[in-house]
Structures are given as C-alpha cells and as structure tokens.
C-alpha cells in the first residue's frame, strides 16, 4: 500500500526517526549509522526526521555526516523542527533556523514542524509569530512544507488547525495502546486531522519501546500467530494501516532493528483481521497492567533542572519493569544505581516543573509516589 497520494516526493510510508541513533558511548556510531542510512536508501526509503535537541544536537550533525555529505539532496527528504526550548522571542527564530540548516549542511528542509505543540506552547508560538515566520521561510523556498508535531487533546488540535489552515501535515503519537487512551486521545486526534484534510505522520508507534518489550502473556498471543514476526512489526503495521497516515517513524538503535523494520515496510501490507484480533488482545493485556506511559523522551530531565536531580524516566522504566515482568533485580538497580547519586522518588518536593514539560502530560509527582511506595516501602 502506497501513500504517495499525499506528498509525491515521499517514496514510502516509513521514516527514519533520528531521536534515537546507534551510539558508541556518548557519541553516534558513525560507521553503523552510515550502514543504516545506506541500507534504508537502498531499500527504497527516503524520509529522515530530526530536531535540534535530539541527542543534544548530535542527531543533526550525524545526519550531515551520514546522509547529507554522502547523498545528493534530491535523494532524501529531511524534516526538522522548531523547538520551544531554543527561542524566547520572535527575533531568535530565524538565526536558530539558519543554524539548523548549517548544522545539517542543507539549504532547505523538506518539512519544518512546529515542535511538540500543546495548548501552552501554541500560545507562545503565536506570541512569537513562529507560524508566520515559518510561512515566510516557505515562501523563500527554505521550507517545502509546514507542519506541526502535536502532544495534546483533540480540542487543542482543532484550534490550531482552524487558526492555521496553512499547516500541511500533523505528526502525532499513535499506537494501538494509545488509540483509545483517555489522556493521549490518539483516535480523536487522528479524526481531527482527517476532518481538516491533513495527512498524519506517526511518532512513537512502539510507545518508546513498550510495545517491543511485551509482558509474557502478550508475547504468547503474537507468538501463537506467527512465531517469526517481531513484536514491533505489529505496532508499526497497525499504525501504517490507517488511510490518512502518510508516514510512520521509527527510532532505530542498530542495524538489526532497521533490518526488521525494513522487512515488513518495504512492501507494506496492513494487518489481517486475525492480526488485528491479536493486537486487540495484547492491548487488553497491556491495559490491565499498571504501566506508566512514559516514552523515555527525557525532556523532563534534559530541559528541566529538577531540584532533586531525580532520574524520572529511569525510575519509571524501573517501576514498569518490576510490575510488568516481576523482575526483582529492579530493587537492586533502584537503590544501588539509579538513586545512588540522584534523588529518590520520595525526595520529590512536588514543584511540578517536570510536569510542565512532559509531552505525555503525565502526573509525574503522583506517579513518583507510586514508585516510592513500590521501591522504598515494599522494596
């Protein structure tokens, strides 16, 4: 199934999300990154997605090295984003944009997205004339398409698309667990895009890895259906099967993940009825567990100066691991590694700074109380 109807320059409905990349220590593993880019392009894909803050700026430079310097410009689609943390006023937007072009080594971006829009960030972008500036850049040919990435409820998206009908594409969090989730509202958000005639790009199709590292009971459901299909394949094909979805992004840490993703997205087929039934069963299993919906984006740590230096995503992952897989080693990690030089969950002074940043709108302060109860009272 092709999605060329939306943007003819996009060759396939699967994109290389560069928020996560192969790493060697703190640096991008350039050799493996080159191989992954080559493999991706050789298999007919051409869409790459980055942002200025991804990997502390190393995502943009890695793309310059592995993609831009090694392939002609017309052979790939490059998406970048205007992120709220890098500007405070209108005058700062153009210099930031030029810096992004220079860091990537290109003269234009195919898509430029107003990053992580929610009600509050949208108001700031309006105050700073961010949409107007991006539209001007489009007129100048420095942006081919204007879009947004979005993290809020459906009514906020309705407002944005009504105020800025010039937005051409919307990137949303969409996966089979969040589809009917009351806080993420994937289905409702998707329907607003449809109503406004905006194609959708999917981020987090595997929910930050949660739909790959499945609980045993859920693994069994998929294993009974096809022993040789990866768990990620169900999540990615679920998202790509919706008619208004033009692109599914996947962050890939290594060549093995890329080969897996490419194997079923090269010649994409939506889920069969039997596979959809299995996904529904897995979804029900997932919902019955008390899992914290943290995607591990680390915004609450990187863009926030937590007064207690609490490693929020790691504590949540540790909690999920213990409650989902009954992995008691997590008690050791919690006490001896995660909180040895950082705050414990119970150290949280409830200032709320992290919650203002979290794109998932997680009640972090409340969830940390659950973590504290699990590890500090029972542990």
| Among 299, 319, 333, 375, contact with ligand SF4 (rule: CB under 6 A) | 299
Q: Which residue among 70, 196, 298, 342 contacts ligand SF4 (CB under 6 A)?
A: 298
Residue 342 makes contact with ligand SF4 by CB under 6 A: no
Contacts (CB under 6 A) with ligand SF4, residues 301-330: 304, 306-308, 310, 312-313
Which CB sits closer to ligand SF4, 187 or 353?
A: 353
Query: Any contact of residue 365 with ligand SF4 (CB under 6 A)?
Result: yes
Question: 112 or 319, CB closer to ligand SF4?
Answer: 319
Q: Supply the minimum distance, in Å, between the C-beta of residue 145 and ligand SF4.
A: 27
Sort strands 23-24 and 27-28 into parallel, antiparallel or unpaired: antiparallel
Residue 364 binding ligand SF4, by CB under 6 A: yes
For residue 326, the SS3 value is coil
Residue 319: phi and psi, rounded to 5, are: -65, -45
Interface with ligand SF4, residue 113, by CB under 6 A = no
Binding test (CB under 6 A) with ligand SF4, winner from 254, 353, 373, 376: 353
Is residue 116 a contact residue for ligand SF4 (CB under 6 A)? no
Q: Applying CB under 6 A, does 297 fall inside the site for ligand SF4?
A: yes
CA dist., res. 133 & res. 138, Å (int): 9
Nearer to ligand SF4, 161 or 203 (CB): 203
Task: Supply the minimum distance, in Å, between the C-beta of residue 203 and ligand SF4.
Answer: 12
Q: Which residues contact 175 (CB under 8 A, 6 or more apart)?
A: 186, 202, 204, 205, 206, 207, 211, 235, 238, 239
Does 32 sit near ligand SF4 (CB under 6 A)?
no
> Per residue in 26-49, is it b (16+ CB within 10 Å) or e — as a string?
eebbeebbbbbbeebbebebbbbb
Shortest distance (Å) from residue 362 CB to ligand SF4: 5
Inter-residue contact 78 to 46 (CB < 8 Å): no
Q: Which residues make beta-bridge pairs with 111?
A: 79, 145
Tabulate helix, strand, coil % of the chain (nearest 5).
50, 15, 35
Residue 164 and residue 130: Cα distance in Å, rounded? 11
Q: How far is the CB of 24 from ligand SF4 (least distance, A)?
A: 23
In terms of CB distance, is 113 or 372 closer to ligand SF4?
372
Q: How many Å apart are CA 170 and CA 192, to the nearest integer? A: 10
Query: Residues binding ligand SF4: what is the number (CB under 6 A)?
Result: 27
Closer residue to ligand SF4 (CB): 244 or 253 = 253
State the first-to-last Cα distance of the chain, in angstroms, to the nearest integer.
50
Residue 272 DSSP label: P
Q: Which of 348, 371, 372, 374 binds ligand SF4 (CB under 6 A)?
A: 348
Q: Least CB distance from residue 85 to ligand SF4, whole Å? A: 12
245 three-state secondary structure: strand
By CB under 6 A, residue 281 contacts ligand SF4: no
Residue range at the interface with ligand SF4 (CB under 6 A); choices 10-18, 114-122, 241-249, 360-368: 360-368
Q: What is the CA radius of gyration of the chain?
A: 20
Q: Please state the closest distance from residue 132 (CB atom) to ligand SF4, in A.
A: 29
Cβ 289 vs Cβ 324: under 8 Å:
yes
Please, what is the minimum distance in Å from the beta carbon of residue 41 to ligand SF4?
Answer: 30
Does 85 sit near ligand SF4 (CB under 6 A)? no
Distance CA 145, CA 141 (A): 9
Min dist. Cβ of residue 292 to ligand SF4 (A):
8
CB 149 within 8 A of CB 113: yes
Positions in the binding site for ligand SF4 (CB under 6 A): 294-300, 304, 306-308, 310, 312-313, 348-354, 357-358, 360, 362, 364-365
């Amino acid at each position: 199934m092709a999605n060329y109807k939306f943007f003819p320059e996009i060759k396939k409905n699967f994109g290389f999300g560069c928020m996560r990349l192969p790493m060697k220590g703190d640096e991008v593993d350039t050799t493996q990154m080159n191989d992954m880019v080559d493999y991706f392009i050789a298999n007919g894909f051409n869409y790459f997605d980055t942002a200025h803050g991804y990997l502390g700026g190393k995502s943009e430079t890695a793309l310059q090295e592995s993609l831009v310097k090694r392939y002609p410009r017309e052979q790939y689609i490059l998406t970048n984003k205007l992120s709220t943390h890098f500007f405070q006023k209108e005058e700062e937007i153009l210099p930031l944009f030029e810096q992004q072009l220079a860091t990537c080594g290109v003269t234009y971006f195919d898509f430029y997205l107003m990053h992580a829009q929610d009600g509050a960030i949208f108001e700031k972008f309006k105050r700073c004339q961010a949409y107007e500036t991006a539209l001007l850049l489009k007129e100048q040919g420095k942006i081919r398409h204007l879009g947004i990435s979005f993290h809020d409820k459906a009514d906020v998206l309705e407002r944005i698309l009504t105020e800025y009908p010039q937005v051409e594409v919307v990137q949303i969090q969409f996966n089979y667990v969040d589809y009917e989730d009351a806080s993420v509202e994937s289905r409702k958000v998707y329907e607003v895009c449809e109503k406004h005639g905006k194609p959708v790009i999917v981020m987090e199709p595997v929910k930050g890895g949660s739909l790959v590292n499945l609980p045993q009971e859920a693994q069994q459901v998929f294993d009974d259906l096809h022993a040789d299909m990866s768990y990620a394949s169900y999540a990615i094909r679920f998202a790509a099967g919706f008619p208004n979805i033009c692109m599914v992004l996947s962050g890939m840490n290594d060549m093995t993940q890329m080969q897996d993703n490419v194997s079923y997205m090269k010649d994409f087929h939506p889920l069969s009825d039997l596979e959809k039934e299995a996904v529904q069963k897995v979804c029900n299993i997932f919902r019955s567990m008390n899992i914290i919906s943290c995607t591990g984006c680390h915004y609450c740590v990187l863009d926030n100066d937590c007064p207690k230096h609490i490693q929020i995503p790691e504590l949540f992952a540790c909690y999920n691991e213990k409650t989902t897989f009954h992995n008691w080693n997590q008690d050791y990690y919690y006490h001896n590694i995660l909180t040895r030089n950082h705050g414990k969950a119970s150290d949280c002074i409830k200032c709320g700074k992290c919650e203002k940043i979290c794109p998932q709108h997680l009640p972090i302060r409340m969830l940390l109380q659950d973590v504290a109860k699990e590890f500090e009272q029972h542990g």
